[in-house]
Amino acid sequence: MDSPAAVASGSIRSRRGRALALGSLACFCSLWAPVPASAADAVLEQAATSGEVLMVGPADSPPLIRMGPKGEPEGYAIDLARRIDRQLKAELGASVRIRFAPVDNTTISVEAVASGRAGLACGVPFRWDREKLVDFSLPIGLSGLRLLTRSGSLDGSPASLAGQPIAVVEGSLGSSFLGSLEPSARPVSFPTLPQAVTALEQKKVAGVLGDANLLAGLRHERGLPGLALVPEQPYVSYGVGCIVPENNSRLLNVVNLAIAGLFQGYLEGRPDAVASVAPWIGPTGVLAVPSERVRAFFESVLITREGLQLAAPAPRP
């Protein structure tokens, strides 16, 4: 697991065409200086001077983030980040923007945000130990821990994992959970989830224990119909959200308003909101979740706060 120092020296990749501004194809070439964790609203104060908020995340984690055909980031988390970007501009002015830089895995994303080297990450599974390091937004989805394996091989029961080589991502929930699920299972660690799935394709491991949504996304992205997710119900379920450094309530408010606005717009059937959700989560998208389940989740999130009165759509010319 890379340390925050390693994040600064190279885990946040800055190769040409990989670290991109959300609104343009601009190369990211340096990181912010870290800010003190106790500095209230330090991210937005720094953004007012630097003109940007750095967003990090694994770039090969569909449906959340993937690199498009022209090398630009796309996905559910990126569409949401564009909305956060617009909300930031309303808060701080048109000169502020979000810039995205890819990292290897979610653990590095959390370390980067917790240390102040990044201001935002979206699509992060909630964990109580992480809540001590960063502040979570409203949930943007639900996921859980499941096993990706070859169809007809393992059924996902603890007994079926006995003695089997199971791929896990370093520092992930799967890596810490496998031993308690089946002590005799043999963990095989990889730096990234795509590398773990490749090992499964090459029959080097019997399964991959990881985030169900990301495993489903990689299976869809690579066209792997011979792989199945088991068991039917996740071993562990959790919410997925965005994170910001602690003590940055103004930024967290901006993020939450963007999430609530997306959910409200989807429930109202607004084309821009539907287009930000349907290709990634909806019934014809990467995860193929039925529309009624998407709507039920969005409604359940909004009912815990307050519904938004969105501005009327601009009349068509």
Write out pLDDT tens, residues 61-106: 999 999 999 889 999 999 999 999 999 998 887 788 999 999 999 9
Pairing, β 97-103 against β 121-125? unpaired
248-297 residue pLDDT tens: 999 999 999 999 999 999 999 999 999 999 999 999 999 999 999 999 99
| 12 vs 109: CA distance, rounded Å | 9
Enter the DSSP assignment of 205: S
What is the structure's pLDDT at 14?
44
Residue 7 pLDDT exceeds 60: no
Rounded average pLDDT over 41-60? 92
Residue 218 pLDDT exceeds 80: yes
239 vs 5, more confident: 239
Looking at the DSSP bridge assignments, the partners of residue 98 are 53
Alpha helices (runs of H) in 153-192, residue ranges in sequence order? 173-181
Ranges 14-18, 116-120, 253-257: which has the least confidence: 14-18
Sequence-separated (6 or more) residues with CB below 8 Å from residue 115:
4, 7, 34, 37
What is the structure's pLDDT at 305?
76
User: How sure is the predictor about 8, in pLDDT bands with cuts at 50, 70 and 90?
Assistant: very low
Domain at 147-235, CATH homologous superfamily: Periplasmic binding protein-like II (3.40.190.10)
The reported pTM is: 0.85
What is the structure's pLDDT at 191?
95
Average pLDDT score, the chain: 87
Rounded average pLDDT over 211-231? 96
The C-alpha angle 236, 242, 246, rounded to 5 degrees, equals: 105
Pairing, β 227-230 against β 20-21? unpaired
CA neighbor of 214 nearest in space, from 67, 59, 55: 59
Domain with CATH 3.40.190.10 in the chain: 4-142+238-303, 147-235
| 85 vs 96: CA distance, rounded Å | 8
| 57 vs 66: CA distance, rounded Å | 10
What is the structure's pLDDT at 35?
47
Q: What is the CATH number assigned to the segment(s) 4-142+238-303?
A: 3.40.190.10
